[in-house]
Amino acid sequence: MRTADFDYQLPSRLIAQTPLEPRDASRLMVLSRETEAIAHRRFDEIGEYLRGGDLLVCNDSRVIRARLLGRKVRTGGKVELLLTAKRQDNLWEALLRGRRVRVGGQVEFRGTGTGDSAPIVQAEILEPVAGGARMVRFDCEVEPLLEELGSVPLPPYIHESLEDAERYQTIYALREGSVAAPTAGLHFTPELMLDLEMSGVEFAFLTLHISLDTFRPVREERLEEHQMYSEYCQVTSETAHVVNQAKAEGRRVVAVGTTAVRALETAAKRVSHGDAQVVEPYEGRTGLFIRPGQRFRVVDALITNFHLPRSTLLMLVSAFAGKELLDRAYQQAIEHEYRFYSFGDAMLIL
């Protein structure tokens, strides 16, 4: 398929700039793949479409303070780094913004605090890598210092400041490592999760640390030419067990977000057809690019947000829902003025 097939025009006023309060006050579009019906509800009504025994699988990755503002050691010129992936203890991939930052250039970052209490970290800018990023080598292990050195990165289409950085974290965010939030999970509140559990819905957790492909559009003309950026993910033996049990008992596995889909399908894709153990424990990197034509081995239903044009996320959801149904859903979302992207409204695909 052509990348242009996944383009659409969105009025800028529909790009959500701030999160709603409470979290579950967002709108919910419900799609039935069987009947192709589309319903318009609120997220706090999602329990009406779930049933006892459903297993919701969530991504517990936590967004790190990956945006660093610094200066060139030699000239004092401003430099901004967005850390996108850790490669070794002191070595990171990062998107870089600044004038004439050459290979070998030294950059300094100063943390919060006063006097000797403010950490100062230096980094050397290294060679370019895939996706327009650069390799950066710090003079120390920078990850423990990010709370003082950095800030939570918001997507480039959000122009409003965020008063509470925790609103760009899910309530179950646990394992630090993402540079963008798994936004489908932002709609859940403790009260809603408790209500769902009381009705017999179960929750399980996995980890996929979100990196560059979340905010990088596909530039190749044909989908098969796109090289997916690999990301760390882990499906524990405990999560694999409860997923396999649900599948064996005919219960639905509901992925909360596209990252949960990619992690589950990565853990399943090495298993032969007909094997009772649909998912195996998995830890490593995944470059799985899900697009129309993909056979889903694990996921039966999907909770997701409305995604950017020409993005791998939109292609994944098209593969799951069916492109014609999803195109119609997006057209209705625009007509009904749904809120789009990270802080926007949600969709449940059954």
pLDDT tens by residue, 65-124:
999 999 999 899 999 999 988 888 899 999 998 888 889 999 999 887 555 567 789 999
Indicate the pairing of strand 106-110 with strand 67-72. antiparallel
pLDDT at 110: 87
**pTM of the complete model beyond 0.85:** yes
132: three-class secondary structure by DSSP:
helix
Rounded distance between C-alpha atoms, residue 308 and residue 9, angstroms: 10
Domain carrying residue 98: 67-151
Residue 122 main-chain phi, psi, to 5 deg: -110, 150
Residues 58 and 132 in one domain: no
Name every residue whose Cβ is closer than 8 Å to that of residue 189 and which is 6 or more positions away in sequence: 22, 23, 24, 171
Between helix 258-268 and helix 312-321 the angle, nearest 10°, is: 70
Return the DSSP state at 220: S
Rounded distance between C-alpha atoms, residue 14 and residue 276, angstroms: 44
Residues 53 and 75 in one domain: no
Residues 112 and 48 in one domain: no
pLDDT at 71: 94
Where is average pLDDT lowest: 25-34, 107-116, 188-197? 107-116
Note the pLDDT tens digit of each residue in 305-339: 999 999 999 999 999 999 999 999 999 999 999 99
Domain total in the chain: 2
Where is average pLDDT lowest: 181-195, 204-218, 227-241, 281-295? 204-218
Please check whether residue 156 lies inside any domain of the structure: no
Q: b/e string for 279-314 if b means 16 or more Cβ within 10 A?
A: beebeeebebbbbbebebbbbbbbbbbbbbebbbbb
Residues 323 and 185 in one domain: yes
Could you say which of 151, 175, 196 is where a domain stops?
151
CA nearest neighbour of 347 among 77, 16, 28? 28
> How many CB atoms neighbour CB 62 within 10 A?
18
Please check whether residue 158 lies inside any domain of the structure: no
pLDDT band at 215 (very low <50, low <70, confident <90, very high): low
Residue 11: asked if its preceding bond is cis (omega within 30°), the reply is: no
Task: Identify the burial level of 339 via C-beta atoms within 10 angstroms of its C-beta, where 0-12 means exposed, 13-18 middle and 19 or more buried.
Answer: buried
CA nearest neighbour of 258 among 215, 308, 214? 214
Please check whether residue 157 lies inside any domain of the structure: no
Is residue 229 a contact partner of residue 130, using CB atoms and an 8 Å limit?
yes
Is residue 126 a contact partner of residue 136, using CB atoms and an 8 Å limit?
yes
| Average pLDDT over the chain, rounded to an integer | 93
pLDDT at 86: 87
Query: One-letter amino acid identity for 92?
Result: W
Q: Is the pLDDT of residue 272 over 60?
A: no
Q: Which residue has the tokens 């945006």?
A: 67
Please check whether residue 250 lies inside any domain of the structure: yes
Task: Identify the burial level of 130 via C-beta atoms within 10 angstroms of its C-beta, where 0-12 means exposed, 13-18 middle and 19 or more buried.
Answer: exposed
Residue 267 main-chain phi, psi, to 5 deg: -65, -20
**In the chain, % of residues over pLDDT 70:** 95
Residues 206 and 302 in one domain: yes
pLDDT at 224: 87
Residues 50 and 90 in one domain: no
pLDDT at 99: 81
Could you say which of 116, 151, 186 is where a domain stops?
151
Q: How far is CA 229 from CA 145, 250, 286, in A?
A: 26, 34, 8
* CATH number assigned to the domain comprising residue 214: 3.40.1780.10
Q: Is the pLDDT of residue 12 over 80?
A: yes
Rounded distance between C-alpha atoms, residue 173 and residue 63, angstroms: 8
pLDDT at 297: 94
Mean pLDDT of 188-207: 98
